[in-house]
Structure 1
Amino acid sequence: MNGRKTTASLLVAATALTAVLVIGAPPRALAADPINAGERQPDDDKPFSAHKVAAFDTPWALAFLPDGRMLVTEKPGQMFVVTEAGKKTEIAGVPKVAASGQNGLLDVAPAPSFAEDHIVYITYVAPADGGSVLELARATLAETEGKAELSDLEVIWRQTPPGGGGQPGGIIAFSPDSKHLFLTSGDRMRPQKAQDPDQTPGKILRLNLDGSVPDDNPDAAKGGVPAMSWTTGHRNPYGLAFAPDGRLWEHEMGPRGGDEFNLIEQSKNYGWPEVSNGINYNGSPIPDHATRPEFAAPPLYWTPVIAPAGLVFYEGDLFPDWKGTALIGGLASTALVQVGFAADGQPDEIDRFDMGARIRDVAVGPDGAVWLIEDDSPGALLKLTPKAK
């Protein structure tokens, strides 16, 4: 551990991390002053060894199946079943994607009921009249005689209206009770849509598993986009996950500065593009969150940016000191970033490990090993295990 952690006064020792997230504890209010972790430097003392298992063409997401194998997507439009030894089986039946820039085949998530029905959910940017469109689909992963395909694929949600640039979002998270699906929809580089209640960009949505609107959504009676919206005012959310205590966390990329780590609470507006802790790419200022208290401010942010991508909460056994912490991939920071939580729920970066490559996604295997994919072509699939003592 290096001296930079002394800036996190609420997190005084790594050994305390196993108790900072109390499963089942009621949510607590966060500290009033957001923490800027942008200037933190990588820790030279890595507690793990990284092993390259396989390589892919611009991999975007990975997710574990109940049997210990993985699903890995490639942004150009391919998807694979992958063993922990690195054997790859390409999956047929993947829909056509509009692969350019930040867009293409995005997230993949096995359904909570996968062990029984083999259903998987995918997100992707598809070609459409008037421009490309973010879609959420579900299908059955059928495997026979060493081959795999997506069968009975059904689009259950589509961005409205179509069009826009990059920043698609597209991250899937299932609620702890496995009854609902949360989906991030980025602003598609049209910032004002994030504040338009009748357009899906810049929102986090809460859906039933079939894509319909839950009756208990805050604005279910209004119909349309408001009925499915859980929160609004997001820019480019590439991380969404439930913590062990049941709270939902999200991270999103800011413009020049202002990457955010947010506690997601229903009906809140997170302010983009009206506020940000960064500035516009042309150098013009954006009002800080502190100037507009009606918007939810991030308790943790990064200026300079880390460009966060991928988010998982560690609950394994191989790295006992990491239990309850969040692991985030860093694109611009070429790092694995670890976030811990103080007793009052306040998050702070507690470690940053230089991986020497843009890290696109993070997952935890059944044995507690941490798995990463690199945003490159070829981009490696890496397995992290504790360093031999």
Structure 2
Amino acid sequence: MNVTTFAQLLAVGLIAGTSPALAQSFNAAPPNAERQQPAFAGQTRAPILADSITLERTVIARGLDHPWGMDQLPDGRWLFTERSGTLRIVGADGSKSRAIAGLPEVDARQQGGLLDVTIRDDFTSSRRVWWSYAEPRGNGTNATAVATGTLSSDEQRMENVEVIFQQQPAWRSANHFGSRLVFDKTGALFVTTGERYYEASRQLAQDLRTTLGKVVRITPMGGAAAGNPELPGGLPEIWSYGHRNIQSAALGPDGTLWTVEHGPKGGDELNHQQAGRNYGWPIIAYGENYSGTPVGEGLTAKDGMEQPVYYWDPVIAPSGMVFYDGAMFPEWQGDALIGGLASQALVRLKLDGENVTGEARYLEGRSRIRDVDVDATDGSIIILTDAANGTLTRLTRR
């Protein structure tokens, strides 16, 4: 292979996944916040994982309108959202259902719209679905909300719809809704929220009387779940606080919650969620404001505030997350797979307990990956690509 051909392939990501140590240079990119240093060894820029696996892409469905979230139905089909406000089902042959009727109105401006969706193991009998969305609240304001309903037997509409969570306060913003939904092993529902982006609203990530910039934990039909931390003066549904905009969340192999949140310019964070902990935003942060100015006083650490397990600078712009559990990629068992928007990559992290020991990226430069999951039938990896002509795509080993 001549130099020109290699450079062209590398630029479009055609050899990413064949040999990350050779094909990937993300660790060589200069940081956005050059003066900041990690709090401990391995907190950022972990060694690039050597990997001989090449991923084969097969598009299951095309023409999706900025798809955001998905979950697999018991029969192997996929339930997915489009940010414009539609919920659909796609079959193995790529056929898409009509938009399922009966969902509440969404505010689909910029980052808003219909967002995540999930079901539980009892779906076959209950037919119950949960979804999150940007809820219009009047006068140009909106906020993250979660609703649940039962899918009709003909799959044409959602019935008995109830709104079970409404982020407070509403804000005049079209950004930072957070919005991943994850059921824990007790049956409680984790909901991640954003702090709505603006300087005034970001301060409320530290205010325990609000649900901006929080992880909340509720019952499947709403209200604080049993076992939540007791925070002085805080709302009973709050699990953790001090977050910027969490769009990646999943249960780890031990059943505990992990999240990845969007940082500012530099400073996306991987956190192992602990009840009642303060994760610092906007008092401490890695990275800087988009203008190049420091976030707050420019602090990266402070007593009483948690350090991220890992951070990225430059950012990957995370969205979607799963810990691999399947037969197709036994080498990846227990590894975290994270969708990358700005990085346009599937990011893989190898962990040893709470230490990230290696990172690899696949499909670099091809598309914005909005969500990632594992097909329960064969262990292949399913991704949603975020575009006006987005796709549901299967990744297998070549």
- Partner of 2:260, secondary structure, is strand
**CA deviation after TM superposition for structure 1 residue 214, in Å:** 2.3
How far residue 2 of structure 1 moved from its aligned partner, in angstroms, is 4.0
Q: How has the CA–CA distance of structure 1 residues 209 and 318 changed in structure 2, closer, same or farther, with 3 Å as cutoff?
A: same
In structure 1, how many angstroms separate the alpha carbons of the residues matched to 2:95 and 2:283? 47
Q: Could you tell me which residue of structure 1 aligns to residue 217 of structure 2?
A: 206
Superposed displacement of residue 257, structure 1: 0.3
SS of the equivalent of 2:156 reads: strand
Instruction: Specify the code of the residue in structure 2 equivalent to 1:168.
Output: F
Whole-Å Cα distance in 2 between the matches of residues 288 and 294 of structure 1? 17
Check if 1:3 corresponds to 2:14: no
User: Equivalent residue of 1:160, what SS?
Assistant: coil
Give the equivalent residue in structure 2 for 1:123: 132
Could you say which structure has the higher strand fraction?
1
Bigger shift: residues 323-332 or 289-298: 289-298
Counterpart of 1:362 (choices 346, 366, 372) is 372
Report what 2:148 is aligned to: 138
2:280 counterpart of 1:254: no
User: CA offsets, 1:45-90, max 9 Å, x none?
Assistant: 6522001111201111111111111111000001111112211112
Question: Unaligned stretches of 5+ in structure 2?
Answer: 1-18, 26-38
Checking the alignment, whether the CA contact within 8 Å between 1:43 and 1:352 is kept in structure 2 is no
AA in 1 matched with 2:339: G
Shift of 1:135: 0.8
Matched, 1:158 2:154: no
Alignment of 1:29-108 (within 5 A): 32-33=40-41, 35-37=43-45, 46-55=53-62, 56-90=64-98, 91-108=100-117
Residue 203 of structure 1 aligns with an amino acid whose one-letter code is K
Cα distance in structure 2, aligned partners of 1:210 and 1:112: 16
CA distance in 1, matches of 2:55, 2:20: 16
**Counterpart contact for 2:189–2:218, Cα < 8 Å:** yes
SS state of the match for residue 301, structure 1?
A: strand
* CA displacement 1:193-252 (0-9 Å, x = unmatched): 101111111000011111111243212896xx5211000000010011111112210000
Equivalent residue, structure 2, for 1:380? 391
Q: How does 1:338-353 map to 2 (within 5 A)?
A: 338-342=348-352, 344-353=353-362
1:242 aligns with 2:251: yes
1:316 and 1:84 map into 2 onto residues whose CA distance is 19
TM-score normalised by structure 2 residue count: 0.84
Q: Does the 8 Å contact 2:150/2:161 carry over to 1?
A: yes
User: Paired residues, what number?
Assistant: 357
Structure 1 partner of 2:7: none
Provide the residue aligned with 2:195 in structure 1.
187
Report sequence identity in percent.
Answer: 37
* Counterpart mapping for 1:329-344 below 5 A: 329-342=339-352, 344=353
Question: What is the CA–CA distance in structure 2 between the aligned matches of 1:279 and 1:317, rounded to whole Å?
Answer: 41
Q: Which residue of 1 aligns with 2:281?
A: 272
For the aligned residues, what is the CA RMSD? 2.4
Contact 1:103 1:125 in 2 (8 A): yes
Deviations 1:288-340 (A, max 9, x none): 66431321111111000000100011101011111101110000000000011
**Would you say the 8 A contact 2:316–2:342 is kept in 1?**
yes
Gaps spanning 5+ residues in structure 1: where? 8-30
Runs of 4+ in 1 over 4 A off after TM superposition: 40-46, 287-290
- Of 318-327 and 126-135, the range deviating more from structure 2: 126-135
Relative to structure 1, is the Cα distance of residues 141 and 155 closer, same or farther in structure 2, using a 3 angstrom cutoff? same
In structure 2, distance between residues paired with 1:42 and 1:89: 40
CA contact (8 A) 2:380 2:394 kept: yes
- Equivalent in the alignment of 1:285: 294
Q: TM-score, normalised by structure 1?
A: 0.86
